[in-house]
Amino acid sequence: MYNRRKFIKISAAGASLAALSNSAIAKSISSITDTSLPIVISTWDFGIIANKGAWKVLSTGGRALDAIEAEDITNHTVGRTGLPDRDGHVTLDSCIMDEFGNCGSVAAMENIAHPISVARLVMEKTPHVMLVGEGATQFAVEQGMKKEKLLTPESEKIWKEWLKTAKYSPVMNIENGQKPGDKYNHDTIGMLAIDAKGNISGGCTTSGMAFKLHGRVGDSPIIGAGLYVDNEVGGATSTGVGEEVIRNVGSFLVVELMRQGLSPEDACKEAVHRILKKKPEIAKKIQVGFLAINKKGEYGAYAIQSGFSFAVCNAQQQDLLIKGKSYYS
């Protein structure tokens, strides 16, 4: 079914963005009419790498849920290389949701490198939706996952450097361009996939805002905030300052707006506008971005600030990187 290629209508309005990535094409899009399935889309530049793992599953006829679990990236975003909280603990948040509305989640979990797999186990092996902190780690170990130290020497060095001033303030768009020495702040991979059968699943994983208070949980593991999937309508995920997304139940809102007929991009835009309307005073200081896909495979994104990108992978192209539109340019 993934041979069912259709024309991708992409305006070249933002063609000068090629600097975003060497391997990828960055374009500003006016409308997406590509409905080729299967498809996987992910937040930020590093979504290209994450999509590759998912594509192996999708391109061989696999289930969207398995594709989502296959996301694996090695920057400072999640898992083994996430930046710690202000006390030096790497705590991970993750959730997953399938085409039946099943969902699982872990929050503030330490010492387990691949949190989305634990989230899936919570979904499939327990009567619960969410496990947090030590209970989540304990459950993961019981399920055979390895307990390990997640704070790398590199992350420890960055944290110790931060301790000298211990000043906490979100840095916008730090997710992109991560390399040693960059200023990291928060990182997230939000991913949405539709398989060849047309079923939708999603996942969202993060180490949260770097140097956050110990115990802080953002939007990423919260169903409806960092992620929401409704197989009749589509899916949405978010990135940026999670507190604002939680306050507005962002991803659920985007999916409900798509249900009412809005395009993925317009639904994301309306959700961003709700955040801005409630707190105009913070609008210029923070980043929040939404990414969405509808049942047809049309996708779109919208963020408060420019600099939010997302990666698209389908039969036509596996490394498409798109600059999301934004309120401030």
Q: What is the DSSP letter of 127?
A: S
Name which of 105, 156, 112 is nearest 134 in CA terms: 112
Kindly state the number of chain residues that form the binding site for ligand SD4, as judged by CB under 6 A. 14
188 binds ligand SD4, rule: CB under 6 A: yes
In the list 187, 195, 230, 265, the residue contacting ligand SD4 (rule: CB under 6 A) is: 187
Collapsing DSSP to helix, strand or coil, 273 comes out as helix
Give me the least distance between CB of 199 and ligand SD4, in Å please.
25
Give me the least distance between CB of 218 and ligand SD4, in Å please.
2
* Region 165-184 residues binding ligand SD4, contact defined as CB under 6 A: 175
Give me the least distance between CB of 256 and ligand SD4, in Å please.
20
Q: Identify whether the C-beta of residue 74 lies closer than 8 Å to the C-beta of residue 80.
A: yes
220 binds ligand SD4, rule: CB under 6 A: yes
Q: Identify whether the C-beta of residue 204 lies closer than 8 Å to the C-beta of residue 227.
A: yes
> Largest Cα–Cα distance of the chain, in whole Å?
56
209 binds ligand SD4, rule: CB under 6 A: yes
Q: Please identify which of the residues 35, 77, 81, 188 carries the catalytic annotation.
A: 188
Q: Which two tokens stand for residue 102?
A: 């099943």
In the list 208, 224, 264, 324, the residue contacting ligand SD4 (rule: CB under 6 A) is: 208
326 binds ligand SD4, rule: CB under 6 A: no
Nearer to ligand SD4, 115 or 297 (CB): 115
Output the 3-class SS for 62-105. Answer: CCHHHHHHCCCCCCCCCHHHCCCCCCCCCCEEEEEECCCCCEEE
Q: What are all long-range contacts of 131-136, with beta carbons under 8 Å and residues at least 24 apart?
A: 131/105, 131/106, 131/107, 132/106, 132/107, 132/108, 132/217, 133/107, 133/108, 133/109, 133/215, 134/110, 136/106, 136/107, 136/108, 136/109, 136/112
Give me the least distance between CB of 2 and ligand SD4, in Å please.
29
* Region 229-288 residues binding ligand SD4, contact defined as CB under 6 A: 239-242
Q: Is 35 a catalytic residue?
A: no
In the list 85, 219, 256, 298, the residue contacting ligand SD4 (rule: CB under 6 A) is: 219
Give me the least distance between CB of 5 and ligand SD4, in Å please.
32
Nearer to ligand SD4, 14 or 242 (CB): 242
Q: From 27-35, 47-55, 203-211, 257-265, give the range in contact with ligand SD4 by CB under 6 A.
A: 203-211
Nearer to ligand SD4, 51 or 206 (CB): 206
99 binds ligand SD4, rule: CB under 6 A: no
Nearer to ligand SD4, 46 or 55 (CB): 46
Report whether the peptide linkage leading into residue 221 is cis, meaning its omega lies within 30 degrees of zero: no
Nearer to ligand SD4, 10 or 229 (CB): 229
Nearer to ligand SD4, 58 or 209 (CB): 209
What are the distances in angstroms from CA 96 to CA 14, 123, 186, 313? 33, 8, 20, 19
Give the span between the Cα atoms of 264 and 99, in whole angstroms: 18
Alpha helices in the chain (DSSP H): 47-58, 64-69, 115-125, 133-142, 153-163, 242-247, 250-259, 264-278
Give the span between the Cα atoms of 119 and 132, in whole angstroms: 10
Give me the least distance between CB of 281 and ligand SD4, in Å please.
19
120 binds ligand SD4, rule: CB under 6 A: no
Give me the least distance between CB of 198 and ligand SD4, in Å please.
28
Q: From 124-132, 141-149, 218-226, 299-307, give the range in contact with ligand SD4 by CB under 6 A.
A: 218-226
Give the span between the Cα atoms of 284 and 114, in whole angstroms: 34
* Chain contacts with ligand SD4 (rule: CB under 6 A): 175, 186-188, 206, 208-209, 218-220, 239-242
Q: Catalytic residues, which ones?
A: 188
